[in-house]
Structures are given as C-alpha cells and as structure tokens.
Amino acid sequence: MQYEHITHGFPPVYEENSRILILGSLPSVKSREQQFYYGHPQNRFWKVLAAVTDDELPQTTEEKRAFLLKHRIALYDAIYECDIAGSSDSSIRNIVPTDLKPILSAAHIAAIFTNGGTASRVYKKYHLPVTGIEAVPLPSTSPANAAWSLNRLMTEWSLALESR
C-alpha cells in the first residue's frame, strides 16, 4: 500500500447565513484534482442533497458552491492533514484535524452532520472536545458504501436534516 501525505488543498464553503455544517473526512483523489468537494462522479453526495432540498442537481463547482449557500449549508472536512493510500478512509493515519473555529465564529451553526464513519470518528476524537457540539452521524455517500442504495441514503439524510 503506497501512502501519500495529504494536506487539505481548498477552503471550506460557508458564510454568516450558514446554519448546517456537513463534514466529510478528507477530499478524495478526484476531489483533490478538481479542488472541490465530492468530485468523484460515483459519489452520491450532490444527488442526495439535491433530493433532500428538492432542488436541481448542481453540476459545476460554481453551481455547487451557490447551492450550498442558498440552502445555508457549510461544507468542510474533519481532517486537514494525514497520510492516506489513494482515497481509502480505512488507510488514514497521522491525522491533523481541520480548524472549525472560523466557521463556527462566522456562522450560527445549529447542527453538525458527519458524512460517514471516518468523519464521525475523527469529529468525536478531535473536534467535539473543542466545539462541545455533538455531531449527527450520517451514512457515507461514497460509492464504497455499496450497502446503502441511493434511495436509502436520501431517506436517512432527509430525516436527519429535516429534524434540525
């Protein structure tokens, strides 16, 4: 297994009107190439959010950024720096967490959600002691999470986001 040291290469998306913060683990290889979140064509993140918000599926980076801000969603990752093999969350080691203070000071975040088990574990270990805000864990939208169909993801994410 070939490890690479990765530093998160692009900023979070948020503004003062953001009310929900969604945290992934770390950008995938495709996302790092595109310099934006959930760039792998098989990742279901954007499809799930479009369905949950009853909005059109954003295509470009600009549309995705505008979509998030329109729906008052802040988006970032729990990991700022680590060693990883490819895009495999299970290979992650030597974690340096992201700094969530700028988002939490600028926006009135009412709820934090984690996209997948790794993001949830990293949040609990590194971020919860700092923020004091419990995060709601959601099933990963990654194509590696084949146990969850698109419809099942949409239902679970919808129930969680609507309850906040």
Active site residues: 43
> What is the 8-class DSSP label of residue 13?
B
How would you class 86 by CB atoms within 10 Å of its CB: exposed for 0-12, middle for 13-18, buried for 19 or more?
A: exposed
Distance (Å, whole) CA 50 – CA 55 = 5
| Phi, psi dihedral angles at 64 (to 5 degrees) | -65, -45
- DSSP of 55-105, one letter per residue? -PPP-SHHHHHHHHHHTTEEEEESEEEEEESTT-GGG-EEEEE---HHHHH
